[in-house]
Amino acid sequence: MHNTVKNLIYIEECIKSKANHDKLPTIIAVSKTFPIENILPLIEHGHLHYGENKVQEALDKWTDIKNQNKNIKLHLIGRLQTNKVKFAIQIFDYIHSVDSEKLAIKIAEEQVKQEKKPRIFIQVNIGNEQQKSGINKEKLSDFFNFCKNLNLDIIGTMCIPPNDGNVEKYFSEMNKINQELNFKELSMGMSGDYQEAIKNNATYVRVGSKIFGNRN
């Protein structure tokens, strides 16, 4: 058995022991920067959800594979520029980083043209960090209504908490916000903190190095 598959199975077992709801969180295997040769064992194992943070890399790496396997779901977990929206919708099934009206409008226009509607998470700047993407939590409700009026398929929120040692606090707050808006999905938690995220009802966790190893 390939090491990546062993790592995935180990994480699945950890999730089963930590999850506090019936529906187990979906593991997004963050395959950004890794060649397809490193990913194929997971695909052959039957894993379906993968994450990339650059549109062009995703197109180059995944177009042929997705044409061969229609069940594979690709998640854009990086920042999306408006000039890349057309190509993002071509390849991605989920977008985790919508955080501006300009971007929302562009996605709305492009999904009509392509007759393809990606599932969308609103990225929340849960720590109100100036250097980090995401909408401020105080503006989230209004932005959600704006997106709904554009007929975007908003399924939940996503956050990347500050690296200040208080991840539990931010995950707990994000969980509360998500419930107040009646979202069903919550994307939070990475290799270093996914277990804490699961305790706070994350439904999607984004795990890279714990599956594929450290990037060069």
- Helix/strand/coil for 136: strand
- What is the residue type of 40? L
Residues 124 and 158: beta-carbon distance below 8 Å:
yes
d(CA 63, CA 49): 15
Q: Is residue 21 very low, low, confident or very high in pLDDT (cuts 50, 70, 90)?
A: low
pLDDT by residue (tens digit) across 124-144?
999 988 888 999 999 999 999
Q: Return d(Cα 199, Cα 197) in angstroms, integer.
A: 5
What confidence tens digit (pLDDT) does each residue in 32-84 have?
999 999 999 999 999 999 999 999 999 999 999 999 999 999 999 999 999 99
CATH class of 35-181: alpha beta
Which residues does 110 contact at the CB level (< 8 Å), separation at least 6?
85, 86, 89
Distance CA 206, CA 183 (A): 18
